Amino acid sequence: MKSRSFLRKPLALALSVAFAAAPVWAQESTAEPVNVDVTATRYDADAVVAGKELAIQKAANVDTATLMTNVSGVSFQVGGAVSSIPVIRGLADNRINTLLDGIDAVPSCPNHMNTPLSYVDPSSIKSISVFKSLKPVSVGLNSIGGAIVASTGQPTFAETGESLITGNAGFMYGTNNNNLGGNLSVTAATDWISLTYTGSTSSANNYTAGRAFHTGQQTTGTTSGNQVLPGNMVGSTSYEATNQAVALALKSDQHTVQLKYSWQDIPYENYVNQRMDLTGNQQNRFNLQYWGGYDWGKLEAQAYYEQLNHTMNFGPDKQYFYPSAGMPMNTNSNTSGAKVKGDVNISESALLRTGAEWQRYYLNDWWPPVANSMMMSPKTFKNVNGGLQQISSIFGELEQRFDPSLKSMLGVRYSLVNSSTGNVNGYGCGMMCATENADANSLNNNSKSKNFNDVDVTLMTSYNHSDNQDGEIGLARQVRAPNLYELYSWSSTSMDAIMNNFVGDGNGYFGNPNLQAETAYTASGAWALHTAERDYMIKASPFYSYVNNYIDAVQWTGNAATGAPSARLVPGQFNVLRYVNQNSNLAGVDLDGQMPIAKTEFGRFSAQGLFNWTYGKNLVTGYGLYNVMPVNGKLNFTHQYGGWDNQIQLIAVANKNNFLSVERNEIATPGYFLTNLKASYYWSKVRVDAGINNIFNTFYYQPLGGAYLGQGRTMSMNPSGGAAPQWGTAVPGMGISYYTALNVKF
Ligand SMILES: [Cu+2]
């Protein structure tokens, strides 16, 4: 069955070859490397976080996205404590695909608080694969960059004729913010049926930075009266979250089917860089998946449904009484989807993947009137009223091996994206709401239904030059239709617009129903030099994208109908911006390297280094793109000995002073160095982790943290009298934190 061996994952193949041929390394109890696997050649992924590296990153971590911290080119836009937004090579959020067990969920919140990885605790993750600049069309759609494929794993069954009960229980604690967490997973299975429960819960207070960064100004009228936060406390970073899931799976021969019901309850998650805090996120998801093996190949099918209720208001650190009480904002959505994908073995050297998928996303976003408020009553403000995005998509992808060292893949996908919405209205407060009324009419009188035809094409070639060199090159055209908020959020009034913001920069945004889809033309490649065993390795991965109709935002003067881009930009404050199509380019390079240092009687020492440089420019304005990570690198020294897996991590990040987004008044941040220590020991059933993050209690600002809005009078765009929040303060990172985690398998 040569076609079977062709189907073997290149990564697994590379690893098995590498370690079969590496007796020095294989002498230890396990041959698995303690770092991100970057040795894979296309088309599994550019990097895979699994095994020991995943276990180390999971320890005392509540934010699933950050499990990818050692993947070069991946950085994190600050969000809530459990919901940072991954950024790959300058592209984030809807611009990349983020799949969790095959579902790319649409964030339902005017601040994108509930991104796909916020629905899963790190303890449930079994692997994360990262495609950086482009992905096979079989992996993702309606995006212009790479993809993150996160998996909670396939169902567990017992050996033939047997049964099993297995599971894991874990506990964690972090000192800086009293971050407490627990998780439990139990599976009962025979050789044909498997039932699994997983649950996790965690909470934390506000964290503190390495030193004071605000003056301890009083916030009046919070839910607990007038309040002063300590100068080193980063306001609005506390949270509590619970995720649970039950999965029932059946297996017969080559066929497995699983129904998983998962639900999330976040009673509060405060937001340091948004004007509102999350006061509720209740999600229910049903995910039915089928995996089948046939003579001709593999078949996967999936159907899912998700219902979400999301609410926001001002949390404990922000002013609540104005003097009217609060500002409720509600979002709900229903998402249904189905996918089918076949991997067909055409010959010993050719594989065809083909499939279809469909997703229907329905969104309501409304803000109830506030009693005794002059501006926020008497009507319900309809931010998005019955928004609908429906995607229908088909693809075909041919993978061909020309000789043992040369393999290519060509894929084409067509997606039809239909978007529509219903009529809207503002708070209806009469004369004072004149701008709101004009803006609402402008949207209502516009055509509110649009079709986008996305044609994606990806061509990839990988080449094994020798035992010591290999490379790959990829070319792609990738298209993304604008999301419902980019199209249909409509109010240019500053108080409304600042509630619509995905990026955490404190500005106000409103939509543009005439937006076109953005189309990226991308080239990326990689060349690796390594020993035959791949223990010494260095890999350079350059990339370039030109994005036609890139959806950026410009400062706006006037209302939606008669206003225009501001003739003169207003620096040094928060402003109202409107989404517009412009053009942009992004370029850069990732470097990855690894080497053994020593093999001693105290264990094996090795080093892994990674580096990323990304450049992003808006070609119309000439300014930088927002939230592009400055030059950064990491050096990880790892130590393995018996049950020990230890890591010292050195992080260096350059300042972010150049190529800022001038339209958004992006805040510059200084460079910094951080050091983290991570130690772990495992017996056969028990694992203990302990470590110190930011061991020198270094004070630093997070380059992708946006604007500090963690306390004060956040309903005002630029509060008068110097009251917080004023433009210009970035969001500090966490100071020193000791952590420990205990995990027991049974
Ligand atoms: Cu929200």
Q: What's the pLDDT tens digit per position in 291-306? A: 999 999 999 999 999 9
Q: How far is the CA of 103 from the centre of ligand 1 (A)?
A: 20
Stretch 675-687: mean pLDDT: 95
Sequence-distant (6+) residues with CB within 8 A of 482 are 419, 452, 515, 516, 517, 518, 551, 579
In this prediction, residue 32 carries a pLDDT of 61
| Parallel/antiparallel/unpaired status of strands 97-100 and 147-151 | parallel
Q: What is the percentage of the chain residues whose pLDDT exceeds 90? A: 91
Which tokens hold the place of 716? 């005002």
- Model confidence over 37-84: pLDDT tens digits? 776 555 678 999 999 899 999 998 999 999 999 999 999 999 999 999
Higher model confidence: residue 14 or residue 32? 32
Q: How far is the CA of 264 from the centre of ligand 1 (A)?
A: 15
Tokens 């090159």 belong to residue: 473
Which tokens hold the place of 586? 């992004």
Domain ranges of the chain: 2-154+163-745
Sequence-distant (6+) residues with CB within 8 A of 413 are 137, 141, 393, 394, 395, 396, 454, 455, 456, 457
Instruction: Indicate the range of 34-43, 340-349, 351-360, 483-492 predicted with least confidence.
Output: 34-43
Q: How far is the CA of 49 from the centre of ligand 1 (A)?
A: 29
- Model confidence over 198-228: pLDDT tens digits? 999 999 999 999 999 998 889 999 999 999 9
In this prediction, residue 635 carries a pLDDT of 97
Cβ atoms within 10 A of the Cβ of 243, count? 24
Burial of 250 (0-12, 13-18, 19+ CB in 10 A): middle
* Nearest C-alpha neighbor of 154 from the set 43, 13, 249: 249
* Nearest C-alpha neighbor of 501 from the set 424, 426, 579, 560: 579
Query: Is a pLDDT exceeding 70 seen at residue 30?
Result: no
Q: How far is the CA of 280 from the centre of ligand 1 (A)?
A: 9
Q: How far is the CA of 367 from the centre of ligand 1 (A)?
A: 12
Q: How far is the CA of 25 from the centre of ligand 1 (A)?
A: 48
Query: Is a pLDDT exceeding 80 seen at residue 603?
Result: yes
Q: For residue 219, how far is the Cα from the chain centroid? A: 32
- Please give the Cα distance from 521 to 535 (Å, whole number): 34
Cis peptide before 323 (omega within 30 of 0): yes
Sequence-distant (6+) residues with CB within 8 A of 182 are 169, 170, 171, 172, 200, 201, 202
In this prediction, residue 28 carries a pLDDT of 38
Sheet containing strand 127-131, edge to edge, reads 47-49, 127-131, 147-151, 97-100
Stretch 440-460: mean pLDDT: 95
- Model confidence over 165-201: pLDDT tens digits? 999 999 999 999 999 999 999 999 999 999 999 999 9
Q: How far is the CA of 331 from the centre of ligand 1 (A)?
A: 8
Q: How far is the CA of 492 from the centre of ligand 1 (A)?
A: 19
Q: For residue 742, how far is the Cα from the chain centroid? A: 26
Instruction: Indicate the range of 300-304, 463-467, 572-576, 578-582 predicted with least confidence.
Output: 463-467
Query: Is a pLDDT exceeding 50 seen at residue 27?
Result: no
Stretch 512-534: mean pLDDT: 95
* Nearest C-alpha neighbor of 505 from the set 669, 706, 656: 706
Q: How far is the CA of 325 from the centre of ligand 1 (A)?
A: 18
* Domain range 2-154+163-745, CATH architecture: Beta Barrel (2.40)
In this prediction, residue 329 carries a pLDDT of 98
Q: How far is the CA of 508 from the centre of ligand 1 (A)?
A: 15
Stretch 596-622: mean pLDDT: 95
Q: How far is the CA of 626 from the centre of ligand 1 (A)?
A: 21
Stretch 324-352: mean pLDDT: 96
* Nearest C-alpha neighbor of 287 from the set 314, 269, 270, 307: 307
Query: Is a pLDDT exceeding 60 seen at residue 312?
Result: yes
Q: How far is the CA of 499 from the centre of ligand 1 (A)?
A: 9
Query: Is a pLDDT exceeding 50 seen at residue 347?
Result: yes
Q: How far is the CA of 311 from the centre of ligand 1 (A)?
A: 6
| Structural contact between residues 610 and 590, judged by C-beta atoms closer than 8 angstroms | yes
- Please give the Cα distance from 496 to 367 (Å, whole number): 10
Which tokens hold the place of 486? 């980019």
* pTM: predicted TM-score of the whole model, two decimal places: 0.94
Stretch 318-341: mean pLDDT: 97
Under the banding of pLDDT at 50, 70 and 90, the label for residue 410 is very high
- Model confidence over 102-144: pLDDT tens digits? 999 999 999 999 999 999 999 999 999 999 999 999 999 999 9
Instruction: Indicate the range of 212-216, 337-341, 629-633 predicted with least confidence.
Output: 212-216
In this prediction, residue 33 carries a pLDDT of 61
In this prediction, residue 29 carries a pLDDT of 38
Cis peptide before 571 (omega within 30 of 0): no
